[in-house]
Structures are given as structure tokens and as C-alpha cells.
Structure 1
Amino acid sequence: MQRDRMARLGTMTLATTPRETSGGLVYRQRLATRVTHWLWAISLFFLLLSGLQIFMARPDLYIGQQSGFQFDNAVLSIDAVQNADGSLSGVTDLFGHRFDTTGWLGVVETASGPTPRAFPTWATIPSYRDLGSGRVVHFFFAWLLVGTLALWLVASLANGHLRRDLLPGRADFRDLPRDIRRHLRLRFEHRREYNTLQKLSYVAVLLVALPLMIATGLSMSPGFNAFAPWLLDVFGGRQTARTIHFLAMLFLVAFFVVHVLMVVLAGPFNELRSIVTGWYRTRPEASDA
């Protein structure tokens, strides 16, 4: 009986080796990775909706140090206009091109009827206009995001997750065309290692987009400006930093949509088990030259 137990333990040990590609359960996600993943998901959800609440106070984006009527540096503007018949229309100006966005941006349906409002009530926290509460929620989850990213970075450096699993090497870049073809054909590899597109997307989010969000957010803080005024110069002014902050948010939303789609297409049960318990079922894949 003791011999059988040792044999089972040996099989489990072999199943968790980094280069395992045959069928079977492998321990793919460490505890630190799983915990920080869900903390990021919660933080980004509240940051997005509270951020849109804050953005409604001035739903315009500019490039440069300053903004106002005397400057011609707007890249995005969401507004409500009154039509000749007295009705309201939502309009969005993007790089000088005007679009009717009634019902989505500028003018939305509420219990009171068509209402001048940059975003629908379901897209903001709180759902009603409350800049103060939106800022409180936003800053709380912003610091939670900062702490979670710091925790993940320390843990990933200590356990080798960053070097071993995320940073792409030469072999990954050589495999990139093949990986793109497989994704276009909806043929997904089920192995312990991340594929090249996963590595590139995770690096873009964890080492570029999230730090950029944090840095641009800090650059809009008057208190942090007093501590590190040079950060505003790095981003070319508060208005440019605000625009970059908004664009980084759009990138993260796009990543989330694609990420969820890939989870569904690749097998949601297996993917969710991996990020909840750490265990992932691999499957041999046919070669795709």
C-alpha cells in the first residue's frame, strides 16, 4: 500500500514538470498567480465604472498641458445638443468628426426619459451622478491594484513565474506565425506552458498597461505632482496623461473581452479550474506546420 502511494506521488510529480505536454493534470497556476488574478479582476471592474463616473464631470480628452475654449487640442468630446424640435441628441466628436451617439453617449434613457449624460446609468458607479463617491471608490481600488501588482511582481520574481512562464524567448518569436495561424483556425494547444500570443498579451497587460495606468493616474494627482513634478513632463502634461489613462483603459477592456472569448473557446471548465485550483488538464496536439 505504501508502494502504491509512492507511485501515485511520483506520477503527480512528473505531471507538474514545466515541460509536460502529454495528457493529464498539471499544476499550472501558483497560489500567488490565482489570488492576484481575481484581485485584478475585481479592482479593474470597479475602477472602470467609477472612472467613467469621474470622467462624466468633464467628458472630454485633450493633448497637452492645458484645455479650454482658447485651445484647439481636443481629441474626444461627448456632449448633448438640443434639436430644433426641442428634443435632445447625444453627439461624440472624435478627432473633429461628429457622430450621433444618442442612447449610448451624451444622451441616454433613464426613468425620467432622455437625459443629458455621458454614459448610461449601468456603466457607472454610483449609477447616479455623484463625483465624490466615484472618486472614493476609484482611489480605493486604484491602491488595491497597486498593492496587488507589487505582490504579484515580488512573488513572480521569487518563484520564477515571470522568467519561466511569461517572458517570451527566441523560440516563442519563431513560433509566433504558427501560433497566429492556430488561433485563426480556433485550434488551441492545451499544455502547461503559455503559447506565444498568451505570453505577449500578458506581458503587455502586466508590465506595460497596468504600470502605465498607475503612472498616468498618479500624474493627475496634485499631491503627487508636488512630490514628483517630473512625472507630468514625462507624459507631456496633465491633459495628455488623462488621455493616455483613458486609452489604456480601453486597451484593458479590449483585452478582457478577448480573454473571456478565448477562455470560452478553449474550454471554460478547464481554464476556470486552472485559475481557481491551479490544476490544468493538458492534451496532446497534432503538429501544425
Structure 2
Amino acid sequence: MTQYASKDNLAEVRRVFIRRHSIATRLTHWINVLCLSFLLLSGLQIFNAHPELYWGHYGANGDPAVLTIGSAGEGDSARGFLRVAGIELPTTGVLGVSTAEEEQTKRAFPAWATLPSFQNLAAGRRWHFFFAWLFVINGVIYLGFGVLSGHFRRDLAPTARELSPRHLGREVIDHARLRFPQGEEAKHYNALQKLTYLTVIGVLLPLMVLTGLTMSPGVDAALPVLVDIFGGRQSARTIHFLTASFLMVFVIVHIAMVILSGTWNNIRSMITGRYAIKEKDTRP
């Protein structure tokens, strides 16, 4: 990593800029941000057309659902609910029945959370498919760069010491106490970051892409084995929804860590590549 010493040195500690992210990593990161944002909003629009999830090959009104976001009643007595495995939770005001400009709307996800805001399945599918393919192409470029440049081996592969229970336990405690790496340790990803990124790259994203393809009749005709792998198109749809939910949890935690560990420093490193760390000044 290239280092740049800043002019605002302290008596015993100086701030040093390191080159933390390559230009390929930065570009693909921001394209992912764009794609995932549109995929989430358009995906919720598509889900609104039939806000129930099933397991197996079939799913329609009257079939037992593993998850339902719906509403009951009419007018002022309308109420929204989330039903998971027979357990029902009230969600009036957001899910099932949303309130906007003092008007109630009966839909699974509210207008502000979907693209387009009005109910339109065809438009939602067009937005979703466009950014899905852009996301896949961007992912292939990132994977190619990661393999050819050694990024995966050098920056994301955890060492045996990092995988030891003692080391992982200490990192979990440090994160819970909001104690983030300093000095030399801040120059590279820690074990929790490596394991999280590898899980997202190697498990969640492939699952999301493959289950999305499984829901396509055209792909089913060309690759019927996908339907068998996931146990049916409805199972694939459920896994797709759950995978997207886990990704959103990852994004929320990721943003929280960016803010808590230094908002501007982290954003600058993902824009310019330069990341500031503090080191002991050993100069005479």
C-alpha cells in the first residue's frame, strides 16, 4: 500500500494516508450501490403483485404460504399484518396498509419503498431485469479483477491465526464495544470483514442470481436442472426474497460501521482510495 504522510503531525502520533482500495474495487462498489438500490425498490414492486411466499412447485391464492403480507377489513377499519409460519404480527401504517398524505393504501409495501411508486408490475419487472443484468456484468468484472490481481488471495483470504476462536472472539468483543482497528491493523480487513465479504460474494450473491434465473420460464426451459436444485420455482422465489433480505441486513450493518468508524475517512477511501490511519511517529 502506498503511504502519504500528512502535514498535521502530532507530537507522538502522525496521520498517514494509505492506498486502501484499487480503482476497480471502487468503481464496481459504486455500481453495486446503484444496482442494489434499484433492485430492492423494483423487487418490492414485483412482490406487491402477489405478496405471499410458498415452498415447492406451486403457489396461488388458497395455497398454504410460508409468508404473507396482507390486509383485512375496509376503510378506517383496515389493518395490515405480517404472517410468518402461522404467526401474525400487526403492521398497520407500513406493511399491508400504509398511510400517505392521510390516505390509506392497501398494498404489501408502501409507495415510498417501491419503484415505480404506483402499482405497476410490468414497469417494476423492466427496472428489475435491467439492473439485474447490469449487476451480474459488474460482478463478473469484479470477480475477474479479484482473481487476476490477487485481490481475493491478498485481501480477503483469512489466515489460520485470524480464524482461531480466540482471535475471532476478541474481534467480536471489540466490534461490540465499537473499538475499531488502529495503526498497522487498520491497513487491511479484519477477520470478521473478510468472512462477511466472502459470505456475501460466495453465498448470498450467487444464490440471489441463481434463484432469480430459476424464476424465468425461458431459463427453466434451457436449464430445467435449476428448478430441481431449488425444489421448485416457488421455493426459488422464497429463497430469492430471503437472500435479498439478508443482503439488506448486511447493507444496514455495513453503513452503520462506516458511520461509527469514521464516515468521511471511509467514504474518501472508496472515492479516492486514500484512507487515513494514525501511527506512532518514530522519526528523530
TM-score in same-fold range (> 0.5): yes
Change (3 A) 1:95 1:120: same
- Distance change (3 Å), C-alpha of 1:13 and 1:105: closer
Partner deviation per Cα, 1:217-249 (whole Å, 9 max, x = no partner)? 000000000110000111111111101100111
**Partner of residue 250, structure 1:** 245
Runs of 4+ in 1 over 6 A off after TM superposition: none
Show structure 2 runs of 5+ residues with no match. Answer: 5-13
CA distance in 2, matches of 1:115, 1:277: 44
Instruction: Determine the structure 2 residue equivalent to 1:76.
Output: 67
Pick aligned residue for 1:192 from 184, 187, 194: 187
- Tell me what 1:92 maps to: 82
Q: Percent identity?
A: 47
Q: Secondary structure of the equivalent of 2:82?
A: strand
1:130 maps to 2:137: no
CA drift at 1:99: 1.6
Three-state SS of the structure 2 residue aligned to 1:163 is: helix
- Range that drifts further, 164-173 or 219-228: 164-173
8 Å CA contact 1:189–1:283 kept in 2: the answer is no
What is the CA–CA distance in structure 1 between the aligned matches of 2:25 and 2:254, rounded to whole Å? 16
Q: Structure 1: 5+ residue runs without aligned partners?
A: 1-11, 16-21
Tell me which of 258, 263, 287 is aligned to 2:258: 263
Pairing of 1:125-204 with structure 2 (within 5 A): 125-174=115-164, 175-190=167-182, 191-204=186-199
1:214 lines up with 2:197 in the alignment: no
| Residues in 2 aligned to 1:66 and 1:38: alpha-carbon distance in whole angstroms | 37
Residues 190-243 of structure 1, C-alpha deviations (whole Å, 9 max, x = no match): 421100111111111112111110000000000000110000111111111101
Equivalent residue number for residue 275 of structure 1: 270
Of the structure 1 ranges 103-112 and 190-199, higher mean CA displacement relative to structure 2 is found in 103-112
> TM-score, normalized by length of structure 1?
0.87
Say if 1:13 and 1:59 are closer, same or farther in 2 by CA, change over 3 A. Answer: closer
Tell me, in whole angstroms, the C-alpha distance in 2 between the residues paired with 1:179 and 1:91: 39
Aligned-pair Cα RMSD in Å: 2.0
Deviations 1:162-215 (A, max 9, x none): 111112221211221111111111110042110011111111111211111000
